[in-house]
Copies of this chain bind each other. A is one copy, B any other.
């Protein structure tokens, strides 16, 4: 089953979310509206809103409530991307110019701040302190994850555990709370909310590992940026760490990574990519992603057999194999 087929069933609700997203970032400040709308139009898979809505199906599904979770979560994700671009000196994302390269670093930073603020404004319409608490704690963890990424740039000595902790904070947590908050906002019991959190968390881990694999394996057309971008900026991902553990290639790969580091972003990643692509690390990383997907689907077993459960399972299967 394709992602779009699953989404098709939610089309009208997702259109409402999309309209709300567009409306939410329209301000009385022209440049902020422009930068934010540019970001929105670059698209994305809208995984977080989709999970909010599907998780809401396990309780009392009310779109007018769920949109006040779905829209802020997508906005927070967008804001983190725009701040990430400031860091990465990224020129393109999803094949589009980044806010940072089209305008400048300062504007990208304040666009992110503005979108964070807007997200919070929307969520305060829900008079549920627990939701605010879960959200603000996740935002703090995301920042710590970003700082860990900076701290670990070009650190070839870091452990796989280090990497997993980092992507937990950077990615998995926000996906996990998308499911959890969808459940809470629709009045599900705590057990269901916990299971959905677990689904989202494991899905998020697999999703990020897949993302990191695609950065090494994909074509520029598939991933919307040159392959090897992570390595170029110093972000040492799972397949790279696993490849470094292989004695036969450790030395040559270290040499290439050091060359990239010393070139200050101008270096060529082709040789490093070739070494990694031929190594066993790709398969091992894929297996790890598959294990997380399996755990995600397992978590759903304790939930009632409604269509949303099938949809979540289908999305998880899709994510394990996606090449964009």
Contacts and interface: CB of A to CB of B under 8 A. Distances in A.
Interface of A: 27-29, 31-32, 83, 86-87, 105-107, 109-110, 112-114, 116-118, 120-121, 123-127, 129, 132-133, 135-137, 139-140, 142-144, 146-148, 150-151
B86 A144 contact: no
B32 A110 contact: no
Given A117-B139, A123-B136, A124-B129, 14 more contacts: A29-B148, A32-B143, A32-B144, A86-B105, A87-B106, A110-B150, A113-B139, A114-B144, A116-B139, A117-B143, A120-B136, A124-B132, A124-B133, A127-B129
Nearest to A133: B124
A65 B121 CA distance: 22
A125 B137 CA distance: 11
B129 A117 contact: no
Contacts of A83: 109-110, 113
A143 to B, nearest CB: 4
Nearest to A140: B117
24 contacts: A31-B147, A32-B144, A83-B109, A83-B110, A83-B113, A86-B109, A105-B105, A107-B147, A109-B109, A110-B143, A112-B113, A113-B139, A117-B143, A118-B140, A120-B120, A120-B132, A120-B136, A121-B136, A121-B137, A123-B136, A124-B136, A125-B133, A127-B129, A129-B129
A86 B106 contact: yes
Nearest to A137: B121
A109 B80 CA distance: 11
Contacts of A148: 29
